[in-house]
Structure 1
Amino acid sequence: MPIYLDHAATSPMRPEVLDAYTQALHVVGNPASIHSQGQNAKRMLEEAREQVAASLGAESVEVVFTSGGTEAVNLGIKGLYWARRAAMPSRRRILVARAEHHATIDSVEWLEKFEDAELTWIPVDEVGRISLAALDAALDQDVALVTLLWANNEVGTIQPIDEVVALAAAYGVPVHVDAVAAYGYLPIGFSASGIAALSVSAHKIGGPVGSGALLVSRGAVVEPLLHGGSQQRARSGTQDAAGAVAFGVAASTLPNPAPLRVLRDRLIAGVRDAVPSAILRGDPEHRLPGNAHFTFPGCEGDSLLFLLDMQGFSVSTGSACTAGVAEASHVLMAMGLPEADARGALRITLGPETTEQEVDAFVAALPAAVAQAERAGLSERTPVLGQLGR
């Protein structure tokens, strides 16, 4: 039986979520219809919105359901930018933390290319933590918004969100936060945070793929990406009631992440003992409870992934893959690693179902895989069987 250690890419749908999802799929009715069946679907939808809001310390009116994290990030960044430019045309600069997810990188670069945005990249340190001094120095009256991850999806480093929001607030600048990796693992109190917009995804917390949300604070204005029936604030389109129901159940039954910290520390200690050359990346203390990210000198991460997959372990590399060509992790290079070192990475992410026995089995299998990958050498390219999902 394969051992799944890639929960950051997607986490298996829990039984209670799947049961609620399949039952909701039988319900007929468009939530926008005024007949009784439509209103029944609307009731289900709004109850789910309340559940998602409660899990994030938000009001239900602040929850805009989307098709997932990528749409939520695009809506948050582009929508805030367009609204700000319409109100204050001189505000065209976007401050972006280095080491962001590609949903953010591609969104801001699109705005730069097509919408006259000017990008200022804020550096991160050797553990992936944003430079508050550089952010403070970059803030000015021409800034449209700040965008950053709550926690890095690759190396697990948790960002100082409160400090970022406070710095931006001094200039009246809204902050968009990609909390896809943090959701379910860190406490999030959206309404009290001062964040203008926050993106999350259901399938990272045991919900369905294809469901996500952008939280938009009461005081924020977001220009829609999609226009039509205005079914939601900032988003048109017939709403997926069944997907929302499953999302709501996943949000309202989040497992306690505390045991994951113990299991993660067991994994980190085990890898260090088994492979002394392995280097832990990311903040050693302020990191996601289920995240362990290592680089292995002299190895290709894709080779390690392939070898471990053959032994029944599902993990991710620290690299992205474009058109089938492996590339070194932009996150690790933003943290100062040379390209060669950034290639030899593995991300192991744990979930609520992960056991000590599975962690120990992975640690036991790792040395042989590392030794074989070292023999293969850095010049050899192993076909990529897995790609970093988030």
Structure 2
Amino acid sequence: MKIYLDNAATTPLNQETKDYIISILDDYYNPSSAYQEGRNIRNKINEARKNIADFIHADESNILFTSGGSASNTLAVKGYKDQNDCVILYSPIAHKSILNYVKTVRNAIPLKVNGQGEIDFDDLNSLLSIYHKRSFVVMDYANSEIGTIQDVKKLTDLIHFYNGRIYVDCTGSISQIPLDVKKLDIDIAGFSAHKLGSLKGCGVLYKKDNIQLSPIIYGSQEYGLFGGTENTLGILTLGYVVQHYNYDQCTPEKRDYLVKTLSGLVPNFFVVGSYNNRLPYNLFLCFEGVSGEALMTLLHEYGVIVSTGSACNSGSLKSSDTLLAIGMKEKYIHNGIRLTLCGSETKEELDYICNQIKNCVMTLRNLT
């Protein structure tokens, strides 16, 4: 038995999506070409743009395509910073592409988060009262490592009270939480296609009409902000996937079943991050006295595929920025594994997962 529990890293393609991809492989013409075949591709890209706009409740003129989540993050944050006199107020548990960028600029201030990863409202209010309209808040909708969801509407209301602006990285949340950029009043938002059961190499950026960005790749495509011939295959596939995406099954019952069952099988473990205000498919578990890396490796031998955190940090011996930011004790920093479900797991599979975690944890504890 093999059970994939790393859907926060990437998601598989279902058979319908594979069939659709095969059906468009001959759509290889350049969408910038003036002849009919090129114009046909341009029309298909525009149709996909509209489908994606509808998916996040936006206008299609406010949607542009990038090469992925990190590209969308960079275009949003660097593009805004280069174009505007601003002070970046950023979440310390943001994606690595954001954290690495803010190290390179002046006027970038980390926000405080509590032990569950939630942004400190009073701290943000204090900073906004100093910087007002120069404030550019950068955060993720939900942290893909520990699963904590931010109260985006409460935060956008506060930011706009001070005439500041906000970028919300939705890559970690887009597969589990429906996104309504107008209802949430988000200025700029981005996400990656491959977290939705689509292809890698395709990202989306939404921005309001009044938001000015500088390009990060020069050219004529995507309103001059992200140049280069469009990834037709990736864009059309995402346009197809969002038409068939269903959030109805994104409920926490299976996640909660895992926690309840494990609680009866394995002593001395705890859930990291907010439990009630959490992505429904996310679990980050710390097992006392057990290396997360060793546990991940041993579980893999029994067909249970998990991770020790964000795929962007995989292979690094450095402690997780997220776990450090929430103040986790040093002795637990390397004891965690992340499980991210897809929602189609059976009870038999869930029981198998729990039993293998129990067996592997006990094996590793007996070695120490």
Give the TM-score category using the shorter length.
Answer: over 0.9
For residues 289-324 of structure 1, the C-alpha deviation after alignment (integer angstroms, 9 at most, x for no partner) is 111111111111001100100111100103778694
For residues 226-267 of structure 1, the C-alpha deviation after alignment (integer angstroms, 9 at most, x for no partner) is 102244352211111221111111112113344541111111
Instruction: Check if 1:119 corresponds to 2:108.
Output: yes
The alignment-based identity, stated in percent, is 28
Structure 1: gaps (5+ residues): 86-90, 378-390
Residue type of the alignment partner of 1:131: D
**Which residue in the other structure is 1:235 paired with?**
226
**Which residue in the other structure is 2:6 paired with?**
6
Equivalent residue for 2:267, pick from 255, 276, 285: 276
How far apart in 1 are the matches of 2:36 and 2:225?
26
Would the alpha carbon gap of residues 350 and 188 (structure 1) be closer, same or farther in structure 2, given more than 3 Å must change? same
How far apart in 2 are the matches of 1:192 and 1:320?
31
Deviation of the 1:22 alpha carbon: 2.2
**Which residue in the other structure is 1:335 paired with?**
326
How far apart in 2 are the matches of 1:322 and 1:290?
20
Instruction: Check if 1:171 corresponds to 2:172.
Output: no
Deviation of the 1:118 alpha carbon: 1.6
Instruction: Check if 1:191 corresponds to 2:182.
Output: yes
Equivalent residue for 2:92, pick from 80, 84, 98: 98
For residues 57-92 of structure 1, the C-alpha deviation after alignment (integer angstroms, 9 at most, x for no partner) is 11111111111101001111111111113xxxxx3x
Q: Is the 8 A contact 1:32 1:42 kept in 2?
A: yes
Would the alpha carbon gap of residues 283 and 325 (structure 1) be closer, same or farther in structure 2, given more than 3 Å must change? closer
**Which residue in the other structure is 2:304 paired with?**
313
Q: Is the 8 A contact 1:320 1:329 kept in 2?
A: no
Deviation of the 1:345 alpha carbon: 0.4
**Which residue in the other structure is 1:15 paired with?**
15
**Which residue in the other structure is 1:262 paired with?**
253
Q: Is the 8 A contact 2:177 2:247 kept in 1?
A: no
Would the alpha carbon gap of residues 230 and 206 (structure 1) be closer, same or farther in structure 2, given more than 3 Å must change? closer
Equivalent residue for 1:295, pick from 286, 289, 292: 286
Residue type of the alignment partner of 1:181: G
Equivalent residue for 1:147, pick from 138, 146, 169: 138
Tell me the SS of whatever aligns to 2:74: helix
Tell me the SS of whatever aligns to 1:347: strand
What TM-score do you get using the length of structure 1 for normalisation? 0.89
Structure 1 outlier segments of 4+, above 4 Å: 319-325
Residue type of the alignment partner of 2:335: G
How far apart in 2 are the matches of 1:142 and 1:52?
30
Q: Is the 8 A contact 1:17 1:207 kept in 2?
A: yes
**Which residue in the other structure is 1:356 paired with?**
347
Residue type of the alignment partner of 2:107: E
Deviation of the 1:186 alpha carbon: 0.9
How far apart in 2 are the matches of 1:26 and 1:319?
35
**Which residue in the other structure is 1:39 paired with?**
39
**Which residue in the other structure is 1:30 paired with?**
30
For residues 10-42 of structure 1, the C-alpha deviation after alignment (integer angstroms, 9 at most, x for no partner) is 010122222222222211321112211001111
Tell me the SS of whatever aligns to 1:175: strand
Would the alpha carbon gap of residues 28 and 333 (structure 1) be closer, same or farther in structure 2, given more than 3 Å must change? closer
How far apart in 2 are the matches of 1:134 and 1:259?
32
Structure 2: gaps (5+ residues): none
What TM-score do you get using the length of structure 2 for normalisation? 0.94
Q: Is the 8 A contact 2:291 2:335 kept in 1?
A: yes
**Which residue in the other structure is 2:120 paired with?**
131
Q: Which moved more, 1:153-162 or 1:345-354?
A: 345-354
Would the alpha carbon gap of residues 322 and 352 (structure 1) be closer, same or farther in structure 2, given more than 3 Å must change? closer
- Count, aligned residues: 366
Would the alpha carbon gap of residues 295 and 143 (structure 1) be closer, same or farther in structure 2, given more than 3 Å must change? farther
Residue type of the alignment partner of 1:130: I
Tell me the SS of whatever aligns to 1:271: helix
Would the alpha carbon gap of residues 152 and 65 (structure 1) be closer, same or farther in structure 2, given more than 3 Å must change? same
Tell me the SS of whatever aligns to 2:12: coil
